[in-house]
Structure formats: C-alpha cells, structure tokens
C-alpha cells in the first residue's frame, strides 16, 4: 500500500462503527473551505462504501482510498 497522503485536517475513526465515521467526517467537511482536504483512518469496512457515496452525492472528491488489511485510509477534497 502506498503511504496515505496528509490532509489539511485529520479524522481518526479507528474503532468506530457505522454510522459514526461518516457523521464525524460529514461534520468536519461541513466546516471546511472548498478545496481543503481531510484524511481519514478507519477500521470499519463499510466506511469505503459510505465515503464513496458521500462524495458522489455531495460533490466532493475521494482523492485517496486504500487499506492495509486492517485499516482503511481515505483523503477527501471538499467540492
């Protein structure tokens, strides 16, 4: 796995289960300016589906999406 990029902000969602990671990221993105990024580290496999759909419906860009077998790493750019 390539090294996850750093964002302007970071959300640690390790150990949290759906829907908590999505709700935390949604609140974080809401307070960001367009073009700013948030990196997320999570352990719940459903976060991949949640963040893909969140970006598609809200007009954000999922810049990075990878996992190392235990943790999921994302970078979302606010649209």
Q: Which residue ranges make up each domain of the chain? A: 19-33+45-79
User: What helix, strand, coil percent values describe the chain, rounded to 5?
Assistant: 30, 30, 40
C-alpha–C-alpha distance, residues 51 and 40, integer Å: 10
Q: Kindly state the tokens that stand for 74.
A: 């994302």
CA separation (Å) from 15 to 18, 44, 52?
10, 7, 20
CATH 2.60.40.1220 for the 19-33+45-79 domain, yes or no: no
The residues that are catalytic are 18
Q: What is the pLDDT of residues 7-48, one digit of tens each?
A: 999 999 999 999 999 999 999 999 999 999 999 999 999 999
- pLDDT reported for residue 3: 86
Q: What is the pLDDT of residues 59-76, one digit of tens each?
A: 999 999 999 999 999 999
C-alpha–C-alpha distance, residues 65 and 75, integer Å: 7
């Amino acid at each position: 796995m390539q090294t996850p990029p750093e964002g302007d902000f970071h959300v640690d969602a390790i150990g949290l289960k759906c829907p908590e990671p999505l709700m935390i990221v949604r609140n974080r993105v809401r307070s960001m300016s367009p073009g700013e990024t948030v990196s997320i580290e999570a352990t719940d496999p459903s976060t991949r589906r949640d963040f893909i759909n969140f970006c598609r419906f809200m007009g954000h860009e999922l810049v990075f999406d990878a996992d190392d077998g235990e943790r999921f790493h994302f970078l979302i750019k606010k649209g």
